[in-house]
Structure 1
């Protein structure tokens, strides 16, 4: 899955990385290493493998900075709340995430996303007693008597799932799937279909997993942007022209194809 997604995005990487550059500070000798923080428990996007960052998101960030030789990157894996806290306070330099208003307060984000997820799906159990309500709903209002399981600290869910819905939080998707399928602590989740199927398969819930595509979830196409901490020295300085000319010169190469 990861190799396929990287290959599919190759034709747009050059344009994205031009914009990523605009978020970066000027660097001097000895100051070009940026440390990115990733969630330790969000496979296949990011996870901890023998204490090291693994998954699509670390690979994408590493690939992004291969276009910008003035910078190198290192990765750390942490609980997601800690990862965000560290970037907010400049303990680590960057992340790849949805640029919520709160996060824009402590990080500068690239103008174009590096990755997009489709959150326009309701995920639920075939054994849920409220299945008829879930499968006939044409709005969140139709689900107002039900409970949604959410990811603790998810800014997108805070912004886009109405506050009148009862919530049960979980620290990451695997726990959320257990809450939904095993403990029956809630009625549904809002997740990308591929994420739900991946987690259900890993946890043994595929036989009763139900996924429904709906059109009433606002901002369901979730952009993930590279962000760098505003605590970095000179984080507000912009450098667009030099990388633009470099990338244009590479336009015929396999690293930076035309888009």
Structure 2
């Protein structure tokens, strides 16, 4: 009897605190990458996880959206299992895939008709943007690290759409934003003829990032193989095309 009790206690201790579906968490406000609407998550990353993990790997998963810092906190502290984001930046508390199902492509955008547009078309590095005023997103870690903390001239927007509205109103010269987000917003606002897409400033590869305390770390090799197949058969590209 005593032995049975000991075995039972060991089993309880070793079970994950969030036993059940593999819990993916995302930023809740970056369409078309990930966003929440009517208490449901939508977007490119959600579709990738559904196709790769739920459908092809046959693992039950759930999707939840939070402010980005909160989402990372949940995985770091074992309250959720996974993110799809840059893996190496989170190596202290997570393991990540080798394959990159998504690339966050930071492109430069400006108003068509900006008197300095010819100069902006030649820009290929951040340092070359010092003479210009840039629209940034308040709360963006990338904008803070690369632009605000390095004393670039910036004008802050409270949301992504305001970046482009302010460009059209000549409040700034340019903005740097992911190509998928930019194209989605430009189309939504009907600014296709007013905004010009310029050079890529940085590519940030995204990985499957699984917390070190999650039992789902074991699926990473299978996830890599699944993503390779999705790249080869075109299904990954179909997801991107859906949100153009």
Task: Flag whether TM exceeds 0.5 (same fold).
Answer: yes
1:138 Cα shift? 4.7
1:233 Cα shift? 4.9
Equivalent pair of 1:133/1:143 in contact (CA under 8 Å): no
Partner of 1:68: 57
Secondary structure class of the residue paired with 2:172: coil
Q: Where is the helix percentage greater, Structure 1 or Structure 2? A: 2
Q: Number of aligned residue pairs: give it.
A: 216
1 CA distance for matches of 2:206 and 2:179? 17
The answer to whether structure 1 residue 226 and structure 2 residue 208 are counterparts is yes
1 CA distance for matches of 2:166 and 2:94? 32
Range moving further from structure 2, 81-90 or 71-80: 81-90
TM-score of the superposed pair, with normalisation by structure 1: 0.66
After superposition, where does 1:64-143 map in structure 2 within 5 Å? 64-66=52-54, 67-69=56-58, 71-99=59-87, 101=89, 103-119=90-106, 121-143=107-129
Once the two structures are superposed, residues 101-149 of structure 1 have per-residue CA deviations (whole angstroms, 9 ceiling, x without a partner) of: 2x33333221221122433x31011243432431233543332121223
Equivalent pair of 2:137/2:163 in contact (CA under 8 Å): yes
Partner of 2:185: 199
The answer to whether structure 1 residue 178 and structure 2 residue 160 are counterparts is no
Q: Cα 1:181–1:152, aligned 2, differ >3 Å: closer, same or farther?
A: same
2 CA distance for matches of 1:116 and 1:138? 19
Larger Rg: 2
Gapped regions of structure 1 (runs ≥ 5): 1-25, 249-253
Equivalent pair of 1:40/1:53 in contact (CA under 8 Å): yes
Partner of 1:16: none
Once the two structures are superposed, residues 32-73 of structure 1 have per-residue CA deviations (whole angstroms, 9 ceiling, x without a partner) of: 42211122222222112211001121111122223434x421
Aligned with 2:19 (options 31, 40, 44): 31
The answer to whether structure 1 residue 209 and structure 2 residue 209 are counterparts is no
Equivalent pair of 2:111/2:194 in contact (CA under 8 Å): yes
TM-score of the superposed pair, with normalisation by structure 2: 0.69
1 CA distance for matches of 2:142 and 2:203? 11
1 CA distance for matches of 2:155 and 2:129? 15
2 CA distance for matches of 1:160 and 1:208? 26
Once the two structures are superposed, residues 212-252 of structure 1 have per-residue CA deviations (whole angstroms, 9 ceiling, x without a partner) of: 135xx3xx33211111223x3567x75778x59xx79xxxx
Once the two structures are superposed, residues 178-223 of structure 1 have per-residue CA deviations (whole angstroms, 9 ceiling, x without a partner) of: 34334x4432122344432321121232221111135xx3xx3321
Partner of 2:131: 145
2 CA distance for matches of 1:82 and 1:106? 15
Secondary structure class of the residue paired with 1:145: coil
